[in-house]
Amino acid sequence: MAASREELVRAFVELHRLNKGDRADRLASDAHFWAWERVSEITAAGGDEAVEVIDDLLHAGGVDDDYIAMVGAGPIQDLLYSDGIAVAALVAERCRLDAAWRSALITVLGYELPPEVQRMLQPYMPHAG
């Protein structure tokens, strides 16, 4: 049975929390690794669904700045490299309206993104171009 979006987000947050813990926590995180794999599949497919899932990840309850940075350097960066031209305008609009998106995008290394994607996201991505 496929996990719901809420289950996916909870497992993704828990994976991050456990990975920051002691050895026992890091070992326990294996039970939630499926969430990272599923988010990776979604971002590789790109499109609106990927943006919506990332939005849910960014607005999960009880997350810290490290988590927001990880979403930027992980799922957002992956999305931009897999489908950047198609989603750049949508990501730029999310950044314009939402501090969580702006904070996450700061961590994206965009040196190798297509120039048109870099131009659209430059105001929010100091590591582009």
Q: What is the pLDDT of residues 72-108, one digit of tens each?
A: 999 999 999 999 999 999 999 999 999 999 999 999 9
In sequence order, the 6+-apart residues with CB closer than 8 A to the CB of 89 are 120
Tens of pLDDT, residues 9-66: 999 999 999 999 999 989 999 999 999 999 999 999 999 999 999 999 999 999 999 9
Q: How far apart are alpha carbons 106 and 116 in whole angstroms? A: 18
Q: How far apart are alpha carbons 106 and 118 in whole angstroms? A: 13
Contact yes or no for 47/83 (Cβ under 8 A): yes
Contact yes or no for 76/90 (Cβ under 8 A): no
Confidence of residue 2 (pLDDT cuts 50, 70, 90): confident
Position 66 scores a pLDDT of 96
CB neighbours of residue 3 within 10 Å: 13
* Residue of 41, 50, 18, 44 whose CA lies nearest to 31: 18
- Percent pLDDT > 70 in the chain is 97
